[in-house]
Amino acid sequence: MPSLETEYLGLKLKNPIIVSSSGLTNSVERIVELEKAGAGAVILKSMFEEQILNETSDLLQHNDYPEAADYLLAYARENSLKTYTQLIKTAKEKVRIPIIASINCVSDSDWETFAVDLQEAGADAIELNIYPIPTDKNKSSAYYESIYFDIVKNITAKIGIPVTVKIGKTFANLIYVADQLHAHGADALTLFNRFFEPDIDIDDLKLTSAEIFSSSSDMHSNLRWVAMISAKTDIPISASTGIHTGEDAVKMLLAGATTVQLCSVIYKNGNKTIAEILDFIDSWMKKKNFKNIEQFRGKMNYESIKNPSAYERSQFMKYFSSIE
């Protein structure tokens, strides 16, 4: 019987399936059901400081006293944090799988404050959901990269539990950024963040949202970077976005991922998807005579295959140069 156990963020997981930060993980009841369905760990829905600020702004629109702003902001922040820490505490009492908290902040001080509070609440690890949008033409890419590095360095200096960083793929040099995040204290990376994608309603002339759920076709770009970053750095990777089948999960593990995260497919097909993916991994391992995941993890990453250029753009010319 193959073992699907793995270690991620220094935590022992019964299998590499993590349910990613989303509405799927925003209540104790849902977390309990995800554990029953077979999840190896869950990442709680992110606590967004920006949302707290927006809610406070809405309250101030109906308040004639400007001096109330600080009070309302403090109240909203404290109330949101209290609700979130209680979710962690109760979930830890109800399930045995690791509970990873997730935060997204806009002010430097709150990153550290929130992280300390989440550690004290009992979180097994913290995911930093970082994504400053580079909109200033006078700021270099190095400036925006330094934001990530400083946040990680400051938080890991304050807490003792593992930290993973969820990033997007829009960096000039992803391998450099991954390596530097590790050097500044990150214990792992989640590749990649799935951002809001805008669309335009040309009839009503308003901004709308594009498709919010991923599909298996979204996996392939991520596969490239999982394979390259896992080969070029020492930082563990949790692969996210586009993993919808057992085959998708196996591919990511072969590329070098330590764990894989599910979200859209559970929204679409329910919690039973977790067992279906685990069954596929188990059957595939038996067919290939692998006793544990470590025997094949990274077996197809950038430095493990005979032709690494298969992960590079040169392959585009090989397959498409004849098309007219």
Averaged pLDDT, 227-244: 96
Given a contact cutoff of 8 angstroms between Cβ atoms, the answer to whether 254 and 298 are in contact is: yes
Give the pLDDT band of residue 108 (cuts 50, 70, 90): low
Residue 107 falls inside a structural domain: yes
Cβ neighbours of residue 31 closer than 8 Å, sequence gap 6 or more:
25, 42, 91, 94, 95, 99
Task: Count the neighbouring beta carbons within 10 Å of the beta carbon of residue 234.
Answer: 9
Averaged pLDDT, 238-267: 96
pLDDT exceeds 80 at position 222 = yes
CATH of the domain at 131: 3.20.20.70
Q: Which of the residue ranges 69-73, 195-199, 207-211 would you say has the lowest mean pLDDT?
A: 69-73
The residue with greater pLDDT, 209 or 228, is: 228
Residue 14 falls inside a structural domain: yes
For residue 259, the cross-strand partners are: 238
Give the pLDDT band of residue 107 (cuts 50, 70, 90): low
Residue 261 falls inside a structural domain: yes
Q: Say how many domains are in the chain.
A: 1
Residue 294 falls inside a structural domain: yes
Supply the pLDDT for residue 183.
Answer: 98
Residue 1 falls inside a structural domain: no
Give the model confidence (pLDDT) of 136-157 as tens digits.
999 999 999 999 999 999 999 9
Supply the pLDDT for residue 73.
Answer: 47
Give the pLDDT band of residue 324 (cuts 50, 70, 90): low
Q: Are strands 41-43 and 198-201 parallel, antiparallel or unpaired?
A: unpaired
| Angle (nearest 5°) at CA 117 between 133 and 238 | 55
Averaged pLDDT, 164-189: 95
Supply the pLDDT for residue 255.
Answer: 97
Predicted TM-score (pTM) of the model is 0.87
Q: Report the share of the chain in percent with pLDDT over 90.
A: 64
Give the pLDDT band of residue 106 (cuts 50, 70, 90): low
d(CA 226, CA 246): 17
Q: Which of the residue ranges 9-23, 44-58, 114-128, 287-301 would you say has the lowest mean pLDDT?
A: 44-58
Supply the pLDDT for residue 258.
Answer: 98
Residue 206 falls inside a structural domain: yes
The residue with greater pLDDT, 6 or 57, is: 6
Domain extent, residue 302, equals 6-320
Residue 266 falls inside a structural domain: yes
| Angle (nearest 5°) at CA 196 between 195 and 202 | 145
CA torsion 50→18→259→273, rounded to 10°? -130
Q: Are strands 11-13 and 6-8 parallel, antiparallel or unpaired?
A: antiparallel
The residue with greater pLDDT, 318 or 19, is: 19
Give the model confidence (pLDDT) of 42-90 as tens digits.
999 988 655 544 444 444 455 554 454 444 445 456 667 888 999 999 9
Residue 182 falls inside a structural domain: yes
